[in-house]
Amino acid sequence: MKTPKVEMGAIRVRGAQNLVAGLSLLGLAAFAAWAASDLPLGRLGSMGPGMVPYAIMGLIALFALGLVANGFLKDGEGVALADYSAVILVAAIGVVALVAGASLKAAGIAQLWGYPPSVVAFCAVYLLVMVWLAIQAVRRPTWLDRSGLRGPIFVVGGLLAFALTVRTVGLVLAGPLLAVISGAASSETRLKELLIFAVAITAVCIVMFKYALKLPMPVLIIPGVIYL
Amino acid sequence: MKSYMMAVAALALAVGGAQAQSNYPERPITMIVPFAAGGPTDVVARIVGEHMSRTLGQQIVVENVAGAGGTTGITRAAQANADGYTIMMGHMGTHGAAPALYPNLKYDPAKDFAPIGLAAGTPILIVAKNGIPAKTLKEFNDYAKANADKLNEAHAGVGSVSHTTCTLFNSQLGIKPNRVAYRGTGPALNDLVAGQVDYACDQIVNLVPQIKAGTIKAFAVATPQRNPALPDVPTTIEAGMPDYQVSAWNAIFAPKGTPEAIVTKLTGALSKALDDEGTRKRLLDLGADIPDANGRTPKALQQLVESEVGRWTPVLKAAGITAN
Amino acid sequence: MDMLANLGLGFSTILNIVPVELPGIGAVPLPMNIILCFIGCLVGTLIGVLPGVGPIATITMLLPITFQLGNPTGALVMLAGIYYGAQYGGSTTAILVNIPGEATSVVTTLDGHEMAKQGRAGVALGISAIGSFFAGCVATVVIAALAAPLTGVALLFGPAEYFALMVMGLIFAVVLARGSVAKAVTMILVGLLLSTIGTDLETGQERLTFGFAPLSDGVDFAVLAMGVFGFAEVLRNLEVSENRDVVNKPIGRLLPSLDDLKASVAPVLRGTALGASLGILPGNGAVLGPFASYTLEKKIAKDPRRFGRGAIEGVAGPESANNAGAQTSFIPLLTLGIPPNAVMALMVGAMTIQGIIPGPQVMTRNPDLFWGMIASMWIGNLMLLIINLPLIGLWVRLLKVPYRLMFPAILVFSCIGIYSVNNSPADVVFTAVFALFGYSLIKLGFEPAPMLLGFVLGKLMEENLRRALIISRGDMVTFLEKPISATLLAIAAVMLCLALLPSVRKSRDEVFTE
């Protein structure tokens, strides 16, 4: 089947994937340009820190425009919301967290449990989202599988949980937590099997890293009580 | 069964440990080294730490936390519990130059630590490529002034020992060369040997083999006495630059608030390590200076930190260098 | 025949039998150096095989255990063993789970992982072991015979030459692309942009860090690779439950067949030559070896379309280049005393702590150490072959673990590995961010491999460009005045034309047919 060429007066999107790719890269270049706006360019004989990044951003923008044009001119692959839903959701949580963090800071709270308030806000909202998704996994599993949220949200959630607990509580918690949370990313997971497996590989890791290779890695910390 | 009982016993001990400070140390001590394993500071930490472990009867475990010129690791160590179980190996950069280089620094080298003692210093050497006609520091001075627009200096990145010490050298000589940054000492040395750049200042340990092989030449060592590793190289005092006295020192610190008794114990263990024949030999092989008994006290270290911060801040500020 | 005498000294050092006090048994004569070499190779393989943990990470983690050995030769032999083991282990994960542990195994993922998906994981691992062994043997001879005369080569490469070499390397990245050339170039640019994150080397200013301290040293390669390759691949596998599993396929052959070997002979030879010569260059020239080899094989193949779809040449060539380069990069360290890359810088640390300061005189002053290390390279390669051929069966069987358990295991091992390199939880968070980034890139039809190469070469390219221009006082002509850099730039230009020509021709054909 051949799509007709661009008709007069009607601009049609023919390769939505390339169009979205081009627009995202334009966004990336613009974001980077904003982030680098304070960097001096310098001159050729002594380049400033900004010169090379700006040159790269310019080229990215150029190619991005090419992709956008391509999206209008040539037939290509389409897009589905489910492919990007997770990234959009995480970005939205990030924005909410930044706003919440800024208002907490304005209210005079500079730190919560040793972290900046925006980080705490991000984790809290993310946790809520995960709980909600977990409920959906029981109630509407097919919807969840099709939404494109399940894999990325739970895997990233597991990684965040690991990062938060590995130094504060130790591997004993961080390992199984990561395995169990990320396990929810697959509809084939069986909880009991996963629990046993998670404990087993964590034990293997502790023996191998902490005791065989003597890497400095906290295994279990309960403040004032135990430090392994 | 036996091991299970031991585990229970260990747990009970750990629970009771909170009040039994006099039995310090009861578990391994973590020494945070703010640079990657294998670097000069790491090497000093491991050599000294090994002997201290023997004195203290508990392992000193080195944890390498690299990043941001060493300030990442020191920031983390400064915020650790002040119970003597987390100590750190700081150096000239983290406890001297850092306040000038990092305006957002989260610690104050002079106020946020309980100094334990100075471990070792490595003298700074001024070297140049063989293609430079000058043979002495004085001749180099004349050469540098005459060829100011052609001169290239190599250093190992902003904030590195070679960078800060050469900043001081340049300002004392009153020259403004083009400064070429490399990622680490190795690549800088490569281009110096190849003659792409003209001169550099760096820790003696990196340079001795090259000087002995004649691939580069040394003008002066920035210490009061000549270094046994390079007996033919004059000191900066002999060479007519007496104010240029710098050394990349390494010293052990604990977080502020660490109990006096623990500090004393650690200082004693460090001093004992520095008196040990084997440890001394390994440090001297690195070209290091070992502090005498007076230089090993917490008080001496505190004074050193204060004078170093006082010295580097104006020099680096004047050169317009910050890392943010 | 100096070389033979020297190698004799080396092997006698390695095979030296010393009495060792064993608790309860007393003094037992043991070939200690051989044992250390074996332990190094084994531990290096086992740690290096963790997803995302390549040689640099492995050596950083394991370096301290060699410090406790009292004998410098033994310590260095063990460390070299760890290095080769980790290198090989990194290729194993690249093939099995598509996570490159370091830049040089990025190319291995392209065809190696495809082979694994087709049930040919054993063949890919086997050819990689055999190719590496052959390349290692050749590289050992090269070092023994030519180390001293080749010393000067490292000094010929200044900033200008290096910049030109990096430009050439980027052109390789274009050729790596499996799909659209324009999209590949865009990905290279994104990689270059990512490489500029962190503290600027020349001025110390922070770039694109948003004032966020953990970013001030830039993005770590392992973190980026784990995110955009490994974790993004996990995410992609999670959504297609039918054909993701290597598992559902029969295991297939464990070792390459005669036909496989025949197809690999020429790529192995070419890869070895390319890798060995690039490895001698300072500033991590070895990283280009596998890319160059892959590019070459793809260019001269009768049917280039097989590449990226499980072509054995695409594993055999780059893996040989990888190992040859890994070994010849010892040349600048051993003869000049100057470490050409991060791994060799770690070696310097290990040598200094053992009381040996590397420099031009190591060869004459510690001949037993120098030649012992060279002999140990060959022995290490032999051990790797002995250790790894039997392990192939085990690795391939690991793929039989159902994916619902496999992916949590990959995540746990990867996280522990990433965490322990810098003891930094922030690194784990970054991998999560890059996982989402890489997943979106795949969805948008981009390929991550060119981006990783851009990232690796980006820093080197910018730094050398700026260095060259500082030294030349801003005069661009410096790149054309120097014969080596002019030649390299000319080659790059020709290659770019060759790479772009087919796509130009293709689009013109399309225009004409429409």
- The answer to whether A224 faces chain C, any CB pair under 8 Å, is no
Report the residue of chain A nearest B79, measured CA to CA. A114
For chain C, the first-to-last Cα distance in angstroms comes to 69
Q: Could you tell me if the ipTM is greater than 0.90?
A: yes
Chain A residues near residue C439 by CB distance under 8 angstroms? 86-87, 152
Report the residue of chain A nearest C458, measured CA to CA. A52
Among C381, C304, C309, C294, smallest CA distance to C105 is for C294
- If pLDDT is split at 50, 70 and 90, which confidence band does C434 have? very high
Task: Return the pLDDT at C395.
Answer: 83
CB-nearest to B14 from A46, A216, A226 is: A226
Q: Is A60 in a helix, a strand, or coil?
A: helix
The verdict on a CB contact (< 8 Å) between B193 and C156 is no
Task: Return the pLDDT at A127.
Answer: 94
Domain-ending residue, one of A40, A57, A73: A73
The verdict on a CB contact (< 8 Å) between B209 and C357 is yes
Q: Does B3 fall in a domain?
A: no
Q: Does A2 fall in a domain?
A: no
Task: Tell me the C-alpha distance between B230 and B217, whole Å.
Answer: 11
Q: Is C21 in a helix, a strand, or coil?
A: strand
The verdict on a CB contact (< 8 Å) between C190 and A214 is no
Quick check: B15 pLDDT over 70? Answer: no
User: Quick one: B90 and B104 in the same domain?
Assistant: yes
Task: Return the pLDDT at B125.
Answer: 93
Neighbours, chain A (3 or more CB pairs < 8 A): B, C
Chain A residues near residue B151 by CB distance under 8 angstroms? none
User: Quick one: A216 and A175 in the same domain?
Assistant: yes
User: Quick one: A44 and A67 in the same domain?
Assistant: yes
Q: Does C4 fall in a domain?
A: no
User: Quick one: A32 and A86 in the same domain?
Assistant: no
Q: Does A11 fall in a domain?
A: no
The verdict on a CB contact (< 8 Å) between A47 and C466 is yes
| Assigned token pair, B315 | 């020099």
Report the residue of chain A nearest C466, measured CA to CA. A47
Q: Does A10 fall in a domain?
A: no
Among C289, C287, C351, C323, smallest CA distance to C139 is for C323
Q: Does B116 fall in a domain?
A: yes
Task: Return the pLDDT at C244.
Answer: 52
Q: Does B102 fall in a domain?
A: yes
Which of A43-57, B84-98, C87-101, C169-183 shows the lowest per-residue confidence on average (mean pLDDT)?
C169-183
Q: Does B241 fall in a domain?
A: no
Task: Return the pLDDT at B21.
Answer: 54
pLDDT (tens digit per residue) in C16-40: 777 777 777 777 777 888 888 898 8
Task: Return the pLDDT at C376.
Answer: 85
| Assigned token pair, A70 | 């391509």
Interface residues from chain A to B (CB-CB < 8 Å): 46, 214, 216, 224-227
Total domains, chain C: 1
pLDDT (tens digit per residue) in C438-454: 999 999 989 888 898 88
User: Quick one: B112 and B178 in the same domain?
Assistant: no
Domain-ending residue, one of B221, B240, B258: B221
Question: What's chain B's average pLDDT?
Answer: 86
Task: Return the pLDDT at C248.
Answer: 53
Quick check: A131 pLDDT over 90? Answer: yes
Neighbours, chain B (3 or more CB pairs < 8 A): A, C
3-state secondary structure chain B: CHHHHHHHHHHHHHHHCCCCHHHCCCCCEEEEECCCCCCHHHHHHHHHHHHHHHHHCCCEEEEECCCHHHHHHHHHHHCCCCCCCEEEEEECHHHHHHHHHCCCCCCCCCCCEEEEEEEEEEEEEEEEECCCCCCCHHHHHHHHHHCCCCCEEEECCCCCHHHHHHHHHHHHHCCCCEEEECCCHHHHHHHHHCCCCCEEEEEHHHHHHHHHHCCEEEEEECCCCCCCCCCCCCECCCCCCCCCCCEEEEEEEEECCCCHHHHHHHHHHHHHHHHCHHHHHHHHHCCCECCCHHHHCHHHHHHHHHHHHHHHHHHHHHCCCCCC
Sign of the CA dihedral C152, C154, C158, C160?
positive
Q: Does B276 fall in a domain?
A: yes
The verdict on a CB contact (< 8 Å) between C201 and B213 is no
More confident residue, C69 or C116: C116
Give the burial class of C463: count Cβ atoms within 10 A of its Cβ; 0-12 exposed, 13-18 middle, 19 or more buried.
buried
CB-nearest to B194 from C158, C339, C470 is: C158
Please answer whether residues B274 and B290 qualify as being in contact, where contact means their C-beta atoms are separated by less than 8 angstroms. Answer: yes
CB-nearest to B38 from C283, C332, C350 is: C350
Q: Is C402 in a helix, a strand, or coil?
A: coil
| Residue ranges making up the domain that contains A61 | 16-73
The verdict on a CB contact (< 8 Å) between C199 and B323 is yes
Task: Return the pLDDT at C514.
Answer: 32
User: Quick one: B259 and B287 in the same domain?
Assistant: yes
User: Would you tell me the crossing angle of helices C2-15 and C367-398 to the nearest 10 degrees?
Assistant: 60
CATH number of the structural domain spanning residue B47:
3.40.190.150
CB-nearest to B285 from C349, C355, C463 is: C355
Question: What's chain A's average pLDDT?
Answer: 87
3-state secondary structure A145-173: HHHCCHHHHHHHHHHHHHHHHCCCCCHHH
Nearest chain A Cα distance for residue C284, angstroms: 21
Q: What is the pTM of this model?
A: 0.84
Q: What is the mean pLDDT of residues C147-163?
A: 80
CB-nearest to A225 from B15, B30, B62 is: B15
Task: Return the pLDDT at A179.
Answer: 95
Q: Does C165 fall in a domain?
A: yes
User: Quick one: B113 and B132 in the same domain?
Assistant: no
Chain C residues near residue B312 by CB distance under 8 angstroms? none
| Residue ranges making up the domain that contains B55 | 27-120+248-318
- The answer to whether A115 faces chain C, any CB pair under 8 Å, is no
Total domains, chain B: 2
Sign of the CA dihedral B171, B177, B180, B186?
negative
User: Quick one: B131 and B195 in the same domain?
Assistant: yes
CB atoms within 10 A of CB A211: 10
Nearest chain A Cα distance for residue C465, angstroms: 9
Nearest chain C Cα distance for residue B22, angstroms: 30
Task: Return the pLDDT at B95.
Answer: 93
User: Quick one: B130 and B273 in the same domain?
Assistant: no
Q: Does B239 fall in a domain?
A: no
User: Quick one: B133 and B115 in the same domain?
Assistant: no
Total domains, chain A: 3
Q: What is the mean pLDDT of residues C96-114?
A: 85
- If pLDDT is split at 50, 70 and 90, which confidence band does C251 have? low
Report the residue of chain C nearest A171, measured CA to CA. C416
Among A145, A167, A174, A161, smallest CA distance to A217 is for A167
Which of B45-59, C297-311, C426-440, C496-510 shows the lowest per-residue confidence on average (mean pLDDT)?
C496-510
Domain-ending residue, one of A100, A131, A148: A148
Q: Does B323 fall in a domain?
A: no
Q: What is the mean pLDDT of residues A136-149?
A: 87
CATH number of the structural domain spanning residue B170:
3.40.190.10
Please answer whether residues C390 and C25 qualify as being in contact, where contact means their C-beta atoms are separated by less than 8 angstroms. Answer: no
Nearest chain A Cα distance for residue B15, angstroms: 5
Task: Tell me the C-alpha distance between C61 and A210, whole Å.
Answer: 12
User: Quick one: B291 and B304 in the same domain?
Assistant: yes
Chain A residues near residue C214 by CB distance under 8 angstroms? none
3-state secondary structure C263-282: HHHHHHHHHHHHHHHHHCCC
User: Quick one: A183 and A218 in the same domain?
Assistant: yes
| Residue ranges making up the domain that contains C392 | 32-513
Domain-ending residue, one of A73, A98, A114: A73
Going by C-beta distance under 8 Å and a sequence separation of 6 or more, which residues neighbour residue C413? A201, A205, C50, C51
Task: Tell me the C-alpha distance between C114 and C305, whole Å.
Answer: 13
The verdict on a CB contact (< 8 Å) between C445 and A185 is no
Interface residue of C338, C423, C485 to substitute, partner B, most B CBs within 10 Å: C338
Give the burial class of B195: count Cβ atoms within 10 A of its Cβ; 0-12 exposed, 13-18 middle, 19 or more buried.
middle
Q: Which residue has the tokens 């959009």?
A: A88
Nearest chain A Cα distance for residue C78, angstroms: 14
Please answer whether residues C169 and C291 qualify as being in contact, where contact means their C-beta atoms are separated by less than 8 angstroms. Answer: yes
Report the residue of chain B nearest A217, measured CA to CA. B63
Task: Return the pLDDT at C349.
Answer: 79
Q: Give the count of Cβ contacts less than 8 A between chain A and B.
A: 16
Quick check: A223 pLDDT over 60? Answer: yes
Task: Return the pLDDT at B8.
Answer: 46
Task: Return the pLDDT at C176.
Answer: 62
CB-nearest to C358 from B68, B75, B209 is: B209
Chain B residues near residue C362 by CB distance under 8 angstroms? 209
Question: What's chain C's average pLDDT?
Answer: 83
Task: Return the pLDDT at B242.
Answer: 92
Chain A residues near residue C413 by CB distance under 8 angstroms? 201, 205
Task: Tell me the C-alpha distance between B101 and B108, whole Å.
Answer: 13
